[in-house]
Amino acid sequence: MFRNITFSLRNFRLSIRYIKRGLCAEAELLVADDEKMSPPTDLRPVYFDVQATTPVDPRVLDAMLPYYVCTFGNPHSRTHAYGWLCEGAVEKARKQVARLINADPKEIIFTSGATESNNLAIKGVANFYAPKKKHLITTQTEHKCVLDSCRVLESRGFEVTYLPVGKNGIIDLETLENSIRPDTTLVSVMAVNNEIGVLQPIHEIGKICRSKSVFFHTDIAQACGKIPIDVNKINADLMSISGHKIYGPQGVGALYVRRRPRVRLEPIINGGGQERGLRSGTLPTALTVGLGAACEIAAEEMQADHEHISRLSQRLIDGIMTRVSHVFLNGDPVKRYPGCVNMSFACVEGESLLMALKNVALSSGSEIITFRVASASFRFNPDELVSTLYLSCVVVTLSSDFRISIKSSCFVH
């Protein structure tokens, strides 16, 4: 039996981040006030669910607020100053998003999030190039919105090949290449898995797809702002981005759509023809501004954040594995994003473990995805009771928070 819980490594209390980055002279006072008013640490769960969502960075919120109160025009209203100002803010955000992935701003389409972006990329390409090409390729461990989009297409007569992953959670490139057919229109493989954190070989996948004249889509919701992403080096034709995974607001995302060579999409939302006719609907100015600000901050702090997360990740892994027997790290130990740690615990029922970890904020994820990876790498009897926890940490999770997490995991086990 499997139960997935994520320990996500980024920042639970953003005011602490300012001290460590030296970004705010008043940060120490803010933290002091926060600690006076906050309940004791043992009453506040440590947040290890950043793969699900991140808090909004205060700097992002500061950028957004004017567009809720003062500059509240419709960015598509071109007959007055309110609309012009909002349009300018949206276009600035478009440039900020594009800069993070080395794209042209004209290639950025704003959406409501990665789920919509994935739906638009997969269904949009499939529907536009049908009926000549009705075959797609993805992996068995993709996000549910990708898998469900493919299943919908299958119900409409399309064929989809679901590539398996090895015991390290990574697909086999030779299998991918052999799966491409003359009628294959799209390959969709995520960059960083949202549950086991493995890095798929997207550079190699991009080369294969380009050589076969097949479009390559990658969901970078868990990679954007965390690892360097360059659309040209990857040879990606489409990329999905989520705002609330990089300390931006919920409800906004983006889809990168390559212009040269051109990728054609059939819209899945009809209306006023906004976003180059690919995504109708009035853009939420404040949310797009927030996404742009989050991308700009991520570009500036990515390297420092990654180094910090790597140290926290290794401390967490070592702390648990040296204290608990029959614990295994799932996924590739090297080709992985350190901010997502997926571990399997033998001889304990998953629901009991989840309920007992009261001092740690975790979430239950897809049992199927983890099973496909973990079951291939377990070193014990497959009939034994097994639970799987996946942890993702914020940029500045405190040392005391880690001690609580490690001690809680060890005590329960």
pLDDT-based confidence at 355, cuts 50/70/90?
A: confident
CA distance 63 to 25: 19
Quick one: how far is CA 299 from the chain centroid? 16
CA nearest neighbour of 60 among 282, 224, 244, 240: 244
Backbone φ and ψ of 97, nearest 5°: -65, -45
Q: What is the mean pLDDT of the chain?
A: 84
What b/e readout covers 89-123, taking b as 16+ CB neighbours within 10 angstroms? bbebbbebbbebbebeeebbbbbbbbbbbbbbbbb
The candidate with the shortest Cα–Cα distance to 110, out of 99, 98, 100, is: 98
Average pLDDT over residues 289-313: 95
Which residues does residue 257 pair with via DSSP β-bridges, in sequence order? 238
At 163 the pLDDT is 98
Please give the radius of gyration of the chain, using alpha carbons only, rounded to the nearest integer: 22
**How high is the pLDDT of residue 117?**
99
The predicted model scores a pTM of 0.85
| Overall average pLDDT of the 19-47 stretch | 44
E strand segments, 174-332: 184-188, 215-219, 238-242, 253-257, 327-329
Q: Which residues of 350-375 are buried (b: 16+ CB within 10 A; e: fewer)?
A: beebbeebebbbbbebbbebbebbbe
Rounded Cα–Cα distance for residues 31 and 92 (Å): 32
Spatial CB neighbours of 307, under 8 Å, sequence gap ≥ 6: none
pLDDT of residue 363: 64
pLDDT digits (tens, 9 = 90+) for 18-28: 323 333 333 33
Short-list 371, 362, 353, 370, CA closest to 410: 353
- For CA atoms 2, 147, 393, 200, the dihedral sign is positive
Whether 125 and 238 have beta carbons less than 8 Å apart is answered as yes
Q: Which domains does the chain have, with CATH numbers?
A: 7-56+302-412 (3.90.1150.10), 62-297 (3.40.640.10)
- For 375-399, write each residue's pLDDT tens digit: 554 444 554 555 677 677 655 444 4
Strand partners, 336: 198
* E strand intervals along 140-242: 159-163, 184-188, 215-219, 238-242
Q: What are phi and psi of 89, to 5 degrees?
A: -65, -40
